[in-house]
Amino acid sequence: MMLRRRPSLLIRPELDDSPLHTTLAELRPTAQLHGLGAGRTRPPWEPVADLLRATGRDWDRRAHRVAVLAQRLPAAVPQRWTADRPEDGDALTLRAFVESHRTPATDRAAVRRAEHSCLRAAEACPEDPTPWLALLSLMYTCAVPVKDAVPVWTEAVDRAPWLRTSYHRLLRYLSPRGHGTVPDMMDFAWQAAARAPHGSPLALLPVAARVELMAHRQGSTPVDVLGSGGGNWNEPRSVHEIDLALKGWFDVGTAPHAEAVTDLNILAFALTRAHRPAEAAPVFERLGRHMTPHPWDLLPEPRRTFAYWRERAAESRGRS
């Protein structure tokens, strides 16, 4: 009898965003090398322009797509786009994100140019929080103190009060692995989750902060993470945080946001660390084949660990 193999995992920065995946595939350099881009009559930035135009004012989806495009696209694409369409707000925003992500902090002239790009994009798109997130990323790279970064974060929040990306980016800023402290990070996560609307993915923010705390401790004090993580994830505060994420977001069944796959991986990871496989089962079911490298990279053999817990969670649910 032939055993049926489980489909391979999908690990990709675009997550489950099919239109974004299609756009990236169309612009893939290997396709052009094999002649698939030969005879192209439209400029290389046009598929990106079409995607962002279709995204419209969905700030959650726009922030995700611009961030992934900034990481994956050749720098020549946004440069050509802004050269061809110097007043196009989408072009300016994408270029700001590219420069904020790729500018080294040691190159002061480049940092000034990137800052100018962010502010120019913000001026061209006054209602869009995304250029301010680009500027926040640049400030993170340059290790600007938290007190000076918060006003920039506030500009983004003023334009989209509960934008998931904004809160996770400031969480990273406040992390001890970034430019903050453990108390600052945890207090911010708890307060944001407490104020967020019911059904918001920000209910997961304290769990994300605890994952960040685990990463910080692992980086500063090399220990056996499998042995050290259990107590942390089973203390009363951790249990409450996971329960809040389940009841305040996952169980509500709201429409998935752009980075839902990322959040589902965080939640599944936390539930496995807390040894709650039966509750992890529906989370893994919703994930399907989608896995994100982090936070599973905090454990040995991330892919095998993910697959192990997915199988164990399914078995636990079957017995319940």
Cis upstream peptide for 295 (omega within 30°): yes
* CA separation, residue 72 to residues 48, 237, 294 (Å): 12, 38, 18
Q: From CA 159, how far away is CA 164, in angstroms rounded?
A: 13
Q: Which parts of the chain fold into alpha helices (H)?
A: 18-26, 29-33, 46-55, 59-72, 76-84, 89-102, 108-124, 130-141, 146-159, 164-174, 182-195, 205-220, 225-234, 236-248, 260-273, 277-287, 293-296, 302-319
Q: What is the pLDDT along the chain (320 residues), one digit of tens a residue?
A: 344 456 689 999 999 999 999 999 988 764 444 444 445 578 999 999 999 999 999 999 999 999 999 999 988 999 999 999 999 999 999 999 999 999 999 999 999 999 999 999 999 999 999 999 999 999 999 999 999 999 999 999 999 999 999 999 999 999 999 999 999 999 999 999 999 999 999 999 999 999 999 999 988 765 444 444 444 899 999 999 999 999 999 999 889 999 999 999 999 999 999 999 999 999 999 999 999 999 999 999 999 999 999 999 888 766 65
Q: From CA 259, how far away is CA 287, in angstroms rounded?
A: 12
Cis upstream peptide for 145 (omega within 30°): no
pLDDT score of 225: 44
Q: From CA 223, how far away is CA 229, in angstroms rounded?
A: 10
* CA separation, residue 294 to residues 110, 212, 219, 286 (Å): 30, 10, 14, 18
* CA separation, residue 209 to residues 185, 192, 241, 243 (Å): 7, 12, 10, 15
pLDDT score of 227: 42
CA nearest to 129, candidates 97, 175, 104, 85:
97
pLDDT score of 28: 74
Query: Could you tell me if 121 and 134 are in contact, meaning their C-beta atoms sit under 8 angstroms apart?
Result: yes
Q: From CA 121, how far away is CA 85, in angstroms rounded?
A: 13
- Cβ-in-10-Å burial (0-12, 13-18, 19+) of 41 comes to exposed
